[in-house]
Chain A
Amino acid sequence: MIKLDNVSLVFQGGSVALSNVSTKIKEGEFVYLIGHSGSGKSSLLKLLYKEYVATKGDIDVVGMDVTTLPKWKVPILRRKLGIVTQEPQLLEDRTTFENISFALEVLGYEESEIEQKTSTLIELVELEESMYKFPSQLSGGEQTRACIARALASNPLLLLCDEPTGNLDPTLSTQIVTLLEKINRAGTTIVMATHDSSIVNRRKKRVLQLHQGKLMSDVPQGRYI
């Protein structure tokens, strides 16, 4: 599903975000990507959907060679992925329902399918009560769930979540993680970046740890030390 081979990312100013990262993630896995702030978690995720371009190394995602992928083909890659960015990116002038159906419109779904599919996604993330609310009327957890629902619009093979529990209290964080595990059980591979140790320690999933851009450890049912 994901293959990184000796990947480095150096920004223009010379700051090194990632250095020589190599790893493999198989289909159906649930992987936590952990590390302190600034350790390179977001950068790694962004490399996977070609928001950033690796300085060195080979990247393979959902069977596509990201390294040599021409720019006009990037949308094809992204349609196979679900992306939840670090800051919830919801359109303020649209309701939860509209924010999710917007994604389906962009993806070219038929008018008739959109309503049905949006409802299904809203049900999945349990936002029925808030579907006609605007983002400013949603709690942090609800916003994240709306983003997850939107990311699932394309039936992605792989869901990338960047600190989805970033500013949520433990109960809400657990809700999000439970939701993601449910999605994972349905077959979607998940990579979730976080620096929330309590969650990682409780869920006992595979843990990749980044430290100053280097992959420090890769533990099958890991803990966040």
Chain B
Amino acid sequence: MRRNPLLAIATILAVLVSSFLVFTTLSARAIVENNTSRWQNGVHVVIFLDDRVTSTAHKQLQETLESYSEVRMVEYFSKSEAAEEFKELFSGQQELLDEVDFETLPTSLRVNLNNPSDYQLIIERMEGNAAVREIRASGEAIERLLSLTNTLVFSATTFAVLIGFAAFILIINTLRLTAFARRKEIKIMKTIGASSTYIRLPFIFEAVFESLIGTSIAIGLGWSVIQYSKNSVIAQSIFDISISDSYLINLTLFLILSTLLFGFFASFVGIRKVLND
């Protein structure tokens, strides 16, 4: 490390970026999963009912829906319940509340599916039904969000692996240069009868040390980013940045452990040649 400060810095940076990518993407995925899982257990399809047909027709429709095997639960949501919900949602905005005629809020059936991705089936079956005024399914948006997240996780992971590989090559090179500069010393140690482990130790130490510095900074940055986004505007409007501390702690431990293994492996590869000469 003393001999190659630039190489050492490059190594630390590469490990940092790689670990940071792993940390943030895995956290981001966990956050998306937390959010969508609430959706998974929630309402998947909302069927607004036409008030012009009789409530018997509404009941019938509910029973039909309940008979479908894809459907787990159907909840009848009356006008007054809709009004309550509306008031709650827009509680701060008195002007808006004054404007609305709650009589125009439709009754609805809120459908919970066994498998949320079956929402399309329900929409198709409800088509042309006289009791139905409008159908809304949040499925599409959620599915797009999930696939976007998956794409993101995939590309970020690819980058993390590539940069991790670059870090690996950098470490190997650093160690090879060091080992080459110290080849006479190593030769003498071998002649005296030093074990391979003894000769390897300082190299393992260097590789693990540099990697750990990179990963530690990355983890620190990752925690700050999450802490920061919890208080950000997005968090307060669309998304709930809910991620458990235990998940973050596990992720941190996982990264540190991987870094240790990474350092060990890199140092073995890095000085294999010098040791075998």
Contact = CB atoms under 8 A, between A and B. Distances in A.
Interface of A: 49, 72, 75-79, 81, 83, 85, 89, 91, 102-103, 106-107, 150, 153-154
Contact of A103 (B187, B192, B195, B198): B192
A91 B193 CA distance: 17
Interface in B240-276: none
Instruction: Give the secondary structure class of A's interface.
Output: helix
B191 A78 contact: yes
A58 B262 CA distance: 41
A81 to B, nearest CB: 8
A78 B187 CA distance: 13
A103 to B, nearest CB: 5
Given A72-B195, A83-B192, A154-B193, 5 more contacts: A76-B193, A79-B192, A81-B193, A91-B185, A103-B192
Contacts of A78: 190-193
B83 to A, nearest CB: 80
A103 B187 CA distance: 12
A66 to B, nearest CB: 14
Nearest to A156: B193
B195 A75 contact: yes
A83 B193 CA distance: 10
B193 A85 contact: no
Contact of B191 (A72, A85, A91): A85
Q: Which 10 A-B pairs have the closest CB atoms?
A: A78-B193, A79-B193, A75-B193, A106-B194, A75-B195, A103-B192, A106-B192, A83-B191, A106-B189, A89-B188
Nearest to A77: B193
Nearest to A108: B198
B192 A153 contact: yes
Contacts of B195: 72, 75
A89 B187 CA distance: 9
6 contacts: A72-B195, A75-B194, A75-B195, A83-B192, A89-B184, A106-B189
Interface in B184-210: 184-185, 187-196, 198
Interface of B: 184-185, 187-196, 198
A106 B186 CA distance: 11
Contacts of B198: 106
A23 to B, nearest CB: 23
Contacts of B192: 78-79, 83, 103, 106-107, 150, 153-154
A148 B35 CA distance: 73
B179 to A, nearest CB: 15
Q: Chain A CB within 10 Å — which of B189, B191, B192, B196 has the most?
A: B192
A107 B198 CA distance: 10
A91 B189 contact: no
A79 B185 CA distance: 17
A150 B187 CA distance: 14
B184 A72 contact: no
B233 to A, nearest CB: 60
A42 to B, nearest CB: 13
Nearest to B182: A91
Nearest to B276: A71
Nearest to B185: A91
Contacts of A75: 190, 193-196
A107 B196 contact: no
A62 to B, nearest CB: 12
B187 A72 contact: no
Contacts of A49: 191
A72 B190 CA distance: 11
Nearest to A79: B193
